[in-house]
C-alpha cells in the first residue's frame, strides 16, 4: 500500500534530532519513525537512503530528501509559515549557521565517531582524535561567543532551526574530552532547550533523555 504521509527517519542520539525538533516547533504534518541503531544499514532503510545515514524524509509520493540542512530548509519553506521563510534576513543567517554546523562542526566529529576512517594504527588514530578535539574547541568557542553576542537566548538572536542543531552539537560535546563549563552560553542554551515543550516531545519520540539541569 502506498504511503499517505511524509516520514522523517531518525535514530537515537543522532543529528536527526534537529529535524525532529523542527517538526515539533512548527507542528509539521510529518511522521517520525525512530529506528533502532543498526537498522540504518539494513536493506529496508538502504532502499530509502542508500547512504545509510539519518536523517532522511520519505515523501508520500516516494521521493526522498536527505541531508539535515536541506531537510530543515524544506521544512521551513513548506510548513514553517512566515517565521521560517527563507527569504527573510533570519532565513539567510539560519542557512549560513546550519551550513557551518553541518559541514564544519559535524564534519570535525569524524575522527571522534570513526577514527578508523582516518588512520590505521592506534597511536595515529589517537593523534587524529586529539587534532579533532582541538578543532572542536575552536568551533565551540566560536558558537559560544556568537550566542553570547546574540544576547544569549537564541543563536541568531531569535529562535530558529540553528538552535535545534546547536542543541544536538552541545549534547555531543559531553562525549568528548571537552568540558561544557568552558562554554557557559552553550550550557545555558542547553538548559533553555530542555525546558522547551517541542524539544521534550522530540526527545521522547527518539527515546532520548534530557542531559542538563532541566532533566
Q: Give contact residues for ligand GSH (rule: CB under 6 A).
A: 14-15, 40, 52-55, 67-68, 102
- Smaller CB separation from ligand GSH, 14 or 206: 14
In sequence order, the 6+-apart residues with CB closer than 8 A to the CB of 24 are 197, 198, 199, 201, 202, 205
Distance of CA 53 to the CA centre of its chain: 13
Half-sphere exposure of 156 (CA within 13 A, CB side): 21
- Smaller CB separation from ligand GSH, 105 or 185: 105
**3-class DSSP assignment, residue 205:** helix
d(Cα 98, Cα 160) in Å, to the nearest integer? Answer: 10
C-beta of 10: minimal distance to ligand GSH in Å? 9
- Smaller CB separation from ligand GSH, 48 or 185: 48
CB count in 10 Å sphere of residue 106: 19
- Smaller CB separation from ligand GSH, 101 or 185: 101
C-beta of 85: minimal distance to ligand GSH in Å? 22
In sequence order, the 6+-apart residues with CB closer than 8 A to the CB of 8 are 16, 19, 20, 23, 30, 31, 32, 33, 55, 56, 57, 71
C-beta of 40: minimal distance to ligand GSH in Å? 6
- Smaller CB separation from ligand GSH, 104 or 153: 104
Residue 148, H or E segment: helix 122-149
C-beta of 101: minimal distance to ligand GSH in Å? 9
C-beta of 54: minimal distance to ligand GSH in Å? 4
- Smaller CB separation from ligand GSH, 40 or 137: 40
C-beta of 114: minimal distance to ligand GSH in Å? 7
d(Cα 12, Cα 122) in Å, to the nearest integer? Answer: 28
* Residue closest to ligand GSH, measured at CB: 53
Amino acid at each position: 500500500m502506498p504511503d499517505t504521509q511524509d516520514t522523517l527517519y531518525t535514530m537515537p542520539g543522532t543529528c536527526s534530532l534537529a529535524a525532529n525538533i523542527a517538526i515539533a516547533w512548527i507542528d509539521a504534518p510529518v511522521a517520525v519513525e525512530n529506528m533502532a541503531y543498526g537498522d540504518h544499514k539494513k536493506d529496508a532503510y538502504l532502499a530509502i537512503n542508500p547512504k545509510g545515514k539519518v536523517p532522511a524524509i520519505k515523501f508520500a509520493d516516494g521521493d526522498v530528501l536527505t541531508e539535515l540542512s536541506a531537510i530543515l530548509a524544506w521544512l521551513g519553506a513548506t510548513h514553517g509559515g512566515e517565521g521560517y521563510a527563507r527569504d527573510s534576513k533570519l532565513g539567510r543567517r539560519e542557512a549560513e549557521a546550519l551550513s557551518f554546523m553541518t559541514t564544519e562542526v559535524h564534519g570535525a566529529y569524524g575522527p571522534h565517531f570513526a577514527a578508523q576512517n582516518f588512520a590505521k594504527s592506534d597511536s595515529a588514530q589517537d593523534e587524529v582524535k586529539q587534532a579533532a578535539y582541538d578543532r572542536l574547541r575552536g568551533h565551540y568557542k566560536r558558537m559560544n561567543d556568537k550566542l553570547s553576542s546574540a544576547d544569549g537566548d537564541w543563536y541568531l538572536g531569535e529562535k530558529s532551526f540553528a538552535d535545534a542543531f546547536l542543541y544536538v552539537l552541545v549534547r555531543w560535546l559531553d562525549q568528548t574530552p571537552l568540558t561544557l563549563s568552558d562554554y557557559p552560553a552553550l550550557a545555558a542554551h542547553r538548559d533553555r532547550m530542555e525546558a522547551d515543550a517541542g524539544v521534550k516531545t522530540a526527545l521522547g519520540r527518539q527515546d532520548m533523555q534530557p542531559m542538563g539541569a532541566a532533566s
